[in-house]
Amino acid sequence: MFDDFFQRALVAGVGVALVAGPLGCFIVWRRLAYFGDTLSHAALLGVALSFLLDINITLSVFAVCLAISILLMGLQRRGSLSSDALLGLLAHSALALGLVCLAFLSWVRIDLMGFLFGDILAVSVFDIAVIYAGGAAVLAVLAVIWRPLFAATVNRELAEAEGLNPDAANAVFMLLMATVIALSMKIVGVLLITALLIIPAAAARRLASGPEQMAVYAAFIGALAVIGGLFGSLRFDTPSGPSIVVAALVLFLLGMTPVGALLRRFTTPQGGGGGAR
């Protein structure tokens, strides 16, 4: 039997993957990979503020990511800079501010590598409870806003014409992203969160015949990546967070081989569409 810490890591990692997969699909569909990077970099600033103000790290990271999202929406409406320029500005500024703040906290011993690349083997039962409770809430909200969010992804003008209020759906989506990044930070670290969001979704895109199916496949592939990465880490004595991302990459590459083509034959019905591909 495996040690308790390894079992907790498996349960926690799978919980994060099940939530990250569906959200990652919207990141892929909307070409928002850099937005995920921006929020993940901002997470380090949240870590610094949590030590400085003596508050819960998850709550601090969530608050900072949410603030960055709101700031981004405000700056986009002003239209003074392009979205990619704004994302680059906010991502690197938040990361630099976080590192500078951590440098001033000389009285606190901080495992910077753990925050950057995750420490999934250190998750507690309480962490698991937070991940699954928060993840269930995220998936429930995503199910509620799925139709307007997907409609806005395909055609914003059409969504507005149908009265679906894409602006509200986009704002809620950013809230969900902030939540998932706060939940995922301890699993794969702030520098690898975006990979866990994007790679399973990108792998699922080659197999799915519709948006809902892609979301389910992305969650399943993410869970497989967590399991494979943790067992690979155990076998080869490699860092757990990066090992999970490498496992996700292997699954993505596998989908580009004849094995992936064979799977597509069984998973794509005749005449099936591709959704927001």
pLDDT digits (tens, 9 = 90+) for 144-156: 999 999 998 988 8
Average pLDDT score over residue span 93-109: 84
pLDDT value of position 273: 47
Q: Kindly list the distances between the CA atom of residue 22 and the CA atoms of 16, 52, 176, 198, in Å, as whole numbers in the listed order.
A: 11, 34, 11, 10
Q: Are 128 and 15 in contact (CB under 8 A)?
A: yes
Apex 75 CA angle, 70 and 79, nearest 5? 145
Q: How confident is the model at residue 81 (pLDDT cuts 50, 70, 90)?
A: confident
pTM confidence score: 0.88
Apex 101 CA angle, 99 and 102, nearest 5? 65
* Length in residues, the chain: 277
Q: Kindly report, residue by residue over 214-261, the tens digit of the pLDDT.
A: 999 999 999 999 999 999 999 999 999 899 999 999 999 998 888 777
- CA 67/CA 187 separation, integer angstroms: 22
Assigned token pair, 251: 């699954």
pLDDT value of position 189: 83
Largest CA distance in the chain: 63
Tell me, what amino acid is at 175? Answer: L
H-only helix segments in 105-210: 112-117, 125-154, 156-161, 166-188, 193-205
The domain defined by 4-267 folds into ABC transporter involved in vitamin B12 uptake, BtuC (1.10.3470)
Q: How confident is the model at residue 268 (pLDDT cuts 50, 70, 90)?
A: low
